[in-house]
Chains A and B, each alone.
Chain A
Amino acid sequence: MKYCVLVLFLSCFCVVASEESSAKLILTKNILNSIITQGNDLAIEYNMYNIGDGVATDVELADSTLHDTDFELISGKMSVKWDRIQPGTNVTHVVVVRPLKSGAQNFTSAVVQYVASEDSEPKFGFSSEIGEVEILSLKEYNRLYAPHVVEWGMFGIWTIPSLLLPYMLYYNSKTKYTVKSKKN
């Protein structure tokens, strides 16, 4: 009887002890730019939050959705890893690319792999999707945001004839009048 009680007590203890703390990672992916154009830098931010109550170990983030043909990597690495992410904390990773093509582009999820608790199998997670984004062409961007110095210069040159002609007439008549007044 006593042994039964002891075994029961120990098994309860084991059950309590086996409720290990486990990590749960949430990955968000978002674009830092307000305007995305071809030929200009685009910064993408990845935020990883550990909402579980355990430490996430061997965390690996990989984004293979930004292909070499469409994006030129300016700064940052697409595949990184963290040794440990404490529960209740978040980490940030930034990658800067330059779009090589304009038009609609679909930004899909990045993948994270991590070990949620000791001696468990690696878990996978997907980031939030950004979805389809319109990338302005360089021509369109210049039309909207460039300083237009050349255009204003051309405008100035074209207005010179319409200003100069009346001024020459006025100047000629003015010199005639002043000469007359001097004579008087």
Chain B
Amino acid sequence: KGKSIMANLLVISVLSLLIGSGFCCDQPSVDSSYYTSTNLKLGKNAAFVVELTVKCKNNVQDLMLYADVNGVQYPVTKSPEGNNYQVSWTAKNKKSPAALFDVKFFDESGYNALKKAARINQDANTVKPLFSVDVKHHGMSSGFWVSSELIALAVASLIFYVVCNERSAVIS
């Protein structure tokens, strides 16, 4: 019991040192916006872009972040000025149906923990992200699901059928 208390104390002291020295982000507040490709007529390839500004309570700037999207990690890019970050990924040559992406953001220590968990085959959900952003992808569509030409064809066929019926009734 004494050992576990010592271990906890050690972790807390290290964390507080890190936060104090400016490596860890304390209580991040995130402002995010995202873009997903929705027009199938322009092409099958889908692009996903998430832009965010992160403000840490302890004013840590220039964070090194990694984003995890469905188990794949992407490094997060920074703007040369300010706390603006962006992560983007693409889905090429495959369908991108409507989905809700839970994009988890990890700092350096979180990313290392994630890689370690993958190495020792531990569940990745045990590693807590710094924060996460929900990206709602509406799916790619090419307008209304039925084309206007099909509707015109259906109406014309209906009229033709009705007329044929009447004609055969008259002839008989």
Interface of A with B (CB < 8 Å)?
Answer: 32-37, 40-41, 43, 45, 60-61, 74-77, 79-85, 91-96, 145, 147-149, 152, 155-156, 163, 170, 174
Contact = CB atoms under 8 A, between A and B. Distances in A.
Given A41-B39, A45-B90, A74-B35, A96 B80 contact: no
14 contacts: A32-B90, A33-B43, A40-B39, A40-B42, A43-B37, A75-B49, A76-B88, A82-B75, A91-B74, A91-B77, A92-B74, A92-B88, A95-B49, A147-B144
B148 interface: yes
Contacts of A145: 41
B42 A35 contact: yes
B80 A75 contact: no
A93 B49 CA distance: 9
B90 A94 contact: yes
A182 B42 CA distance: 63
Given A81-B78, A149-B148, A76 B64 contact: no
B77 A43 contact: no
B58 interface: no
Interface stretch (B6-14, B18-26, B151-159): B151-159
Contact of A75 (B45, B51, B78, B79): B51
Contacts of A155: 152
Contact of A79 (B42, B44, B79, B144): B79
B64 A83 contact: yes
A32 B39 CA distance: 12
Interface in B51-88: 51, 64, 74-75, 77-80, 84, 86, 88
Interface of B: 33-35, 37, 39, 41-49, 51, 64, 74-75, 77-80, 84, 86, 88-90, 92, 143-144, 147-149, 151-152, 155, 159, 166, 170
Given A45-B90, A147-B143, A96 B49 contact: yes
With a 10 A CB-CB cut-off, give which of B41, B48, B77, B86 has the most chain A CB atoms: B77
A94 B42 contact: no
Contacts of A35: 41-43
A80 B49 contact: no
Contacts of B152: 152, 155-156
B47 A32 contact: yes
B35 to A, nearest CB: 4
Contacts of A37: 42
A159 to B, nearest CB: 9
Contacts of B143: 147
A83 B108 CA distance: 12
Contacts of B149: 148, 152
